[in-house]
Chains A and B, each alone.
Chain A
Amino acid sequence: MTHEIKEMMRRPFRYFYEDGIAEIAVGGLFLALGLSLLAVEAAQSKYALVIVVAIGIPLLTVGGGIFLKKAVGGLKEHVTYPRTGYVSYKSKEPSRGRWLISGAAIVFTVVLMLIPERFSQISIAEGGMLFIILSYIGYRIGMNRFYLIGAIAALIGLAAAFLTTGDILGSAATFGGTGIVMIISGVMALRIYLRKNRRPNESLR
């Protein structure tokens, strides 16, 4: 019976990802990051690189994160909550998951140092980290598609290391590719969600 209780307690966390909206949003952010790096590579200018790295990427990640939080919340208010209900989550407390991910990152870095320098280590590292983070999310909420997306991200990182020239192009391919995969996965999840959950009458609430 305790297993069933634990499963019930995991379900609200899985609910956040059921509609695919967060996935589409994060995928969009990764794609934007990949395109920014691609633009830098295309410009072939060290000034463009400095601007993107020093200003663009921090703006994209911090500002993008804030924008995404509001956008995801707004979309859920219109799409998800009227169909399947509202959930407010507690502010995150430090969990052992963060230690797990940090530990995995350290081990990964050590392994990476053994890879010959002619391969783009950065895209392998990025793909690997995305695999660790996405797999951890999949494990925590019990959603198998995150393992698959993580595995694809790792493969993209690996492929980018062998097929591209230079770290910037490799990173652009890794983030851009993973972003596209996440958007596709999120859209599919949203389609399934909308098909399964019609908007109920207002009186139900």
Chain B
Amino acid sequence: MNENLRSIVDVDRIIHEPSRLVIVAILYTVESTDFLYLLKETGLTKGNLSSHLSRLEEAGYINIEKTFKGKVTRTICSLAERGREAFDEYRLKLEAVIDC
């Protein structure tokens, strides 16, 4: 297999999934966001978003924290250092593939 094809095959499958890519891209630029903001931005259903967030949390890419604002629960998501590095690596690979 040539080098360029290997780059495509080796891309991080966790981040490469389109919905998770959107989630990670959003979290990359901010300190944290809540579940509702991610729901609005991704356009996913609640179940779908929860599933993707769980997958990212299992991989150690994001941190999820449940807090309270008054009587309302707020699920706060932030990008972990591992997730930040994974996204940087993913972007470099993608740019290398597109530029070739």
A-side residues, CB < 8 A to B, are 1-2, 5, 8-13, 15, 77, 81-82, 84-90, 200, 202, 204-205
B29 touches which one: A1, A13, A82, A200 (CB < 8 A)?
A13
Say yes or no: A90 contacts B30, CB within 8 Å: yes
A205 adjacent to B72 (CB under 8 Å): yes
- Which residue of the partner chain, among A1, A81, A87, contacts B94 with CB atoms under 8 Å? A1
Complexed CA–CA distance, A18 and B89 (Å): 31
Contact (Cβ within 8 A) A89 B31: yes
> A-B pairs with CB below 8 Å: how many?
75
B34: chain A residues within 8 A (beta carbon):
81, 85-87, 205
A85 near B30 with CB under 8 A, answer no
In the complex, whether B75 has a CB less than 8 A from a CB of chain A is yes
11 contacts between A and B (CB under 8 A): A1-B98, A2-B94, A9-B25, A9-B26, A84-B37, A85-B38, A85-B41, A86-B34, A87-B34, A90-B30, A205-B34
Instruction: Decide if B74 touches A205 in the complex (CB within 8 Å).
Output: yes
Identify the B interface with A (CB < 8 A).
21-22, 25-26, 28-41, 46, 69, 72-76, 91, 94-95, 98
Q: Is the CB of B25 within 8 A of A86?
A: no
- A202: chain B residues at CB < 8 Å are 72
Knowing that A5-B94, A12-B26, A85-B38 touch, tell me 6 more A-B residue pairs with CB under 8 angstroms. Answer: A1-B94, A5-B21, A5-B25, A81-B34, A85-B34, A86-B37
Contact B46 A204 (CB under 8 A): yes
| B28 neighbours in A (Cβ, 8 Å) | 9
Which of A9, A15, A82, A90 is close to B31, meaning CB atoms less than 8 Å apart? A90
B15 to chain A, nearest CB (A): 11
Given contacts A9-B26, A12-B30, A205-B73, contact A85 B37 (CB under 8 A): yes
Check if B35 sits within 8 Å of A205, measured CB to CB.
Answer: yes
Q: Is the CB of A88 within 8 A of B32?
A: yes
Known: A11-B41, A90-B30, A204-B46. A2 touches B36 (CB 8 A): no
CB–CB B98/A85 < 8 A:
no
Please indicate the chain A residues that have their CB under 8 angstroms from the CB of B37 in the complex. 15, 84-87
A81 and B29 CA atoms in complex are apart in Å by 18
* Beta-carbon contact of B29 and A9 below 8 Å: yes
Instruction: Kindly state the separation between the CA atoms of A81 and B30 in the bound complex, as whole angstroms.
Output: 15
Query: Which residues of the other chain, A, contact B98 by a CB distance below 8 angstroms?
Result: 1-2
With A5-B21, A5-B91, A85-B33 known as contacts, the answer to whether A205 contacts B75 (CB < 8 A) is yes
